[in-house]
Structure formats: C-alpha cells, structure tokens
Chain A
Amino acid sequence: MNRILKIIKALRACISIFVLSAFFTSCSPEEKEDTGNSLTQLIRPKHFPVAHYTHSNNPYTREGFELGKRLFFDPILSRDTTISCASCHHQSHAFADRGIALSIGIKGGVSSRNSPPIFNMAWSKSFMWDGGINHIEIMPFAPIINPKEMDDNLNNIIRKLNQHPNYPKLFQTVFRKTNIDDQQLFWALAQYMSNLVSANSRYDLFIAGKENFTTSEMKGLKLFRQHCESCHKEPLMTDYGFHNNGLDEQFKDQGRYRISQNEIDLGRFKTPSLRNVELTAPYMHDGRIASLSEVIEHYSSKIKSSPTLSSPLGEHVGGFQFSDEEKDALVDFLHTLTDEEFITNKALVYP
C-alpha cells in the first residue's frame, strides 16, 4: 500500500513538472517573435574601439532599452506635453533635426545651437557642442530643463511618470523598485541611446573588404585621410576633441571656453562625427552652412584665422584650395558614410 502511495506521489510530481515546463516553453516563442523589433543585446561593432560607457551601474536589458525608447518618443518629458526627444531627433536624419539650423522647443522657444545627431554615444566621453556634459546618463537633463527646449523639471516628470497607467509597471520590470525616480529615468534613456549604433555604412563594408569604392570615392577617401582625419578620426570619424575650424575671427558663441574658461578654447567646438553627415544638414554648431558642398568650400577657401584656430588648419589659412574634382570626390566619399540600415531599423523607434 505504502509503495503504491509513493508511486502515485512520484507520478504527481512528474506531471506538475511537465505541466510547468510546458507552460514556460509556451511563453518563450512569443518573446522570440518580438525580438525582430528590439535589440536583445548591446551592439558593439568589432572594428570600433572599446566603448567608453560600460553600463557598470546600469546593466543593459532588452526591457530597459524598450523603456528608454518609449520615453525618448514620449512628450511626457516636456512641461506642456507637446514635444519629446524625438521631436528634434529624427531617425530619418540619423537622429538630428530635419534640416533646421536651430530646433524649436515648447511654446516656440529657439535653442541656441544645432541639434546634433544621436549615434555611437557610448564611445563619447563628453556631450553637447561644448562638451560640458561628462556622462551619457545625465545628458538628457539639459534639454529636459532648458526653458527653450522641454522646460520641465525632474520632480514634475517623476510625478507624471509615477501617476501614469503604464510606466510604473515598465520601470518595475527593469529596475525592481517600488517608485520611479530620476536615476531610473536617466538609466532607461541611457540604455536606449547607448545602443543607437551606426556602423553599417558602405564605408564600413569597404573597410571590411565587402564593398568596392568608385574611383571618385577612393580619391575622396585619400583626400580625407590627408586633410580631415587629424580631427575626424576613423572609424568613429571624430577625435571627440574640441577645435576651432576657422568659421569666425570673432566668436559670438564662445564654445568650449564657456566650460573650461581657458582662452585657448575660445571658439572651439566638439568635433562632430562625419558618419551620416549627408543626412544631418545644416552644418556647424549653429547650423550656418546649408549643404555638404558648401562645407567643403569652407575648408577649401574660407578658413578664417584667429588665435585659437586649430593647428592642422593653421598651416592652411584661407583653405586647402581643392580643385572641383577633389571637392566632388570628398562629397562622394562622405556619402559612403550614410548608414541606411541605421536610419530604417524599426527596432530603434517607438511605433
């Protein structure tokens, strides 16, 4: 009798394990279906250097990325709920604004500098045109509280998020805390932004030996390496440094000096990456130059001298005097830096 009872007990245990495992396996296929529209892991291309942002306090999860993405596209981060981060950072333009020199904030406020594109931020040690912000996690604080941009304050945003029908649950899933706070908000946004990685342009394929360049593109690459690379370092196409590229003799915007208070930094701005540069017009910190060919013209014939002009350009005051063919070749090369996959990948935008 005892034996029979034991067998029944054992059988029962087996059945419940079987039922449980069936339940779990039935869940996982659904999750897998979703991954087509999300990023399950950090994208860190092999031909890039080691990323500066390591997620040490903020471990990357798919749910964290999704939450950051949703927040990025949600106008809840502005005081009157009219604009989101995505209002001035469009995927079609590599997350720069759509052809606007100075972006428009809530109630028509005009920002003071050109909205930069957003990609490969995990490799950057500083943010904004003057590099005043030292960490990707607290970068969004500036546009959120800037009166000309989103004009909100963090306590208000945290209140709105905690009262929201969906956000408390989404934050709990990622951070396992009862209440949403600003640290979690910044962490979620950083999980999203740090994984906006652009590394699949024709240039990248060329470097990998999977694509050929035209004669003009090759010529452009050679000229680029000769004249531009000292600041626009491959493969990220920026040295993340600060330079005065000869736009002005007198500086309306003091640039890096605003942060460092060091005279050598007057009129110096952070080197923008040239990746996706075809999509991010107009150019320079104030969006003063409308087209790529005009940018090349600037470096060819319009470099202005000043005490803080960056040294590689100092030997070429007036400009590099490119021929028309060379100018075309440079533009052709710059077009190879456009990453079609990056600007069309649906996993990077909130539907």
Chain B
Amino acid sequence: MKKLFKITIYSIVFGSLFILNSCSKSNENSTGNIKIQNEFIFAVNTVPFALNQKYVHPKTFDTLTYTQFRFYISNVRIQKEDGSWWNENESYHLISAKSAEEASFTISNVPAGNYTAMEYTLGVDSARNMAGAQGGALSVANEMFWDWNTGYIFLKAEGNSPQSSTGSFAFHLGGFSGTNNIVTKKTTNFNGAKLTVSGSVTPSIVFLANPARLWHSSPSVATRSTIHMPGAPAVTMANDFYGNYSFKEIK
C-alpha cells in the first residue's frame, strides 16, 4: 500500500515537471526579439555618416566634424495585425553614432506574430523629465541632462568647424513644456511591409538619421554655434531633424 502511494506521488511530481517543462518551451516559442537599428547619412547620398570625419553642409557650406551625435528614442510600441498594441516596458534608449552597436537596441519578449506599425517618441516624455532620479538609459551619468534647468537633453550634437568663432559647435536640444516642447511622437507603417516576430529569427527595423538636417532651416555655425537650453532655436533644429528621421526597411 505504502509503495503504491509512493509511486503515485513520484509519477505526479515527475509528470507535472514534464508538463511545466514543455509549457515553458512553448512559451519560448511564443516570444521573440526585435532589433532597432539606426543608419546615419549626411545630407543626401553620402553614406555612411561617421564621427570624426569632415563634411561640408550643402546649405550652410560649413565644414563640420562631429565628435558626438546622440539622441533618445523612447516609448516604443508596435501594432499587431489585429490592431492591438504591444508596449515595451521602461522603453528608453540612447542612440549614439559612435558605433553600429551603440546605434541600435534590442527589444525582447515581444509576443510572436505579425506587426504592421510602430509608434515611438524622439526625446523623453515630460513625465520622466519631472520624476527625479532615473536609472538605465535615463541615468543622469549619461550626460544627457541639464543640471541647472531640469530636463533631458534629447539630442546632443558636438564637434568642430572652422566657420565657428570658437572653432567648435555644441547643440543640446531638449524641452518638454509649453512652446519649447520638442517631445515628438512618430509612427511608421513600415511602408506596407510586415514585421514577423518569432522565437527563431530576430528581425531588424532600420531607421535613417541625417545629422545634416539640424541646419535645414537653421543658420550657419558662424551665426550660432551653441544651443544650451530649450527655446525657439532648439525647436527649429529638432523639428527639422525629427521630421526627417524615418523608417528605411525591415531586414
């Protein structure tokens, strides 16, 4: 009798372990990763853009050498074929033109399926600009934050130019309230393409970023070589860059 009882218990324990195991395996199959990549170009047809190289701007004719180009992408969400949205949790990413690795990020635990659109924010939402100390990509130690006038620097472009009276330029763009607000929400429908998420392959969504666009309607660095706070000049520059930032392909 006792033996029989033992055998039953063992079979229940092992059986349930087996079931749990097979469940977790099928769970693995039901989620996947997505890579978001940024390709940098300078103006039109100049591929690729890289830091520490000389470029002549087609509109201002300034000679520009970027030493830094970083910006935030946040609040990424994607839309399934059935119209429902999946939001990435704690979705804040700092992009840098320094390397391909720093120009991309991976979103994980995305439910498997077909997706037809992506929504994202260029900049950092106002809530996080007012919520005190943050971690991860929003850590103040990333030097994308104003100490004296609270707020994230959404985009930082620094470098050298002989046209600047100081020999250098530094454009720190941010602003999350009133007329200075440059938090920019954008959506892409992948130009009609389908994004398929599964456990076996990691698709990449590629975006194009063009650092030349900062001067699309802003004056030469001879006129203005720095922006260090929110305001009208930052709004103009951000609108030009953010407006041009766009989906390229899924691969």
Contact = CB atoms under 8 A, between A and B. Distances in A.
Interface string A42-71: 000000000000000110000000000000
Q: Which of B132, B140, B229 has the most C-beta atoms of chain A within 10 angstroms of its own C-beta? A: B132
A25 interface: no
A162 to B, nearest CB: 12
Nearest to A128: B148
A137 B132 contact: yes
Contacts of A153: 141, 143
B166 interface: no
Nearest to B180: A261
23 contacts: A58-B133, A128-B148, A132-B148, A134-B129, A134-B130, A134-B150, A135-B130, A135-B131, A137-B133, A138-B132, A138-B150, A141-B147, A142-B147, A153-B143, A158-B141, A182-B140, A183-B134, A183-B135, A183-B139, A186-B132, A190-B132, A190-B133, A261-B229
Contacts of A182: 133, 139-141
Nearest 3 A/B pairs, CB to CB = A137-B132, A186-B133, A154-B141
A133 interface: yes
A28 interface: no
Contacts of A190: 132-133
A236 interface: no
Nearest to B146: A132
A264 interface: no
B145 interface: yes
B231 interface: yes
A2 to B, nearest CB: 15
A62 to B, nearest CB: 20
A261 B231 contact: yes
Contacts of A135: 130-133, 150
Contacts of B231: 261
A295 interface: no
B133 A183 contact: yes
A79 to B, nearest CB: 15
Interface in A115-154: 128, 132-138, 141-142, 145-146, 153-154
Contacts of B132: 57-58, 135-138, 186, 190
A203 interface: no
Contacts of A128: 148
Interface in B135-168: 135, 139-141, 143, 145, 147-150
Interface in A179-204: 181-183, 185-187, 190
A182 B147 CA distance: 14
Nearest to B231: A261
Interface of A: 57-58, 128, 132-138, 141-142, 145-146, 153-155, 158, 181-183, 185-187, 190, 258-259, 261
A107 to B, nearest CB: 19
Interface in B201-251: 229, 231
Given A57-B132, A190-B132, A155 B141 contact: yes
A141 B150 CA distance: 10
B162 to A, nearest CB: 27
B32 to A, nearest CB: 29
A131 to B, nearest CB: 10
Pick from A136, A258, A261 the residue with the most CB of B within 10 Å: A261
Nearest to A187: B133
B150 A132 contact: yes
Nearest to B138: A183
Contact of A141 (B129, B131, B145): B145
A343 to B, nearest CB: 28
Interface in B176-210: none
A22 B98 CA distance: 60
A190 to B, nearest CB: 7
A58 B143 CA distance: 22
A138 B140 contact: yes
B150 A133 contact: yes
Interface string B7-18: 000000000000
Nearest to A259: B149
Contacts of B131: 57, 135
A183 B135 CA distance: 6
A89 B229 CA distance: 29
B172 to A, nearest CB: 14
A127 to B, nearest CB: 9
Interface in B19-47: none
A136 B130 CA distance: 10
Contacts of B140: 138, 141, 154, 182, 186
A181 B141 contact: yes
Nearest to A146: B147
Contacts of A133: 147-150
Contact of B148 (A142, A181, A187): A142
A215 to B, nearest CB: 46
A190 B141 CA distance: 17
A151 B135 CA distance: 22
Nearest to B148: A132
B150 A181 contact: no
Nearest to B179: A261
A93 B63 CA distance: 54
Given A135-B132, A138-B140, A155-B141, 19 more contacts: A57-B131, A58-B133, A128-B148, A133-B147, A133-B149, A134-B150, A135-B131, A135-B133, A138-B147, A138-B150, A141-B147, A154-B140, A154-B141, A182-B133, A182-B140, A183-B139, A258-B149, A261-B229, A261-B231
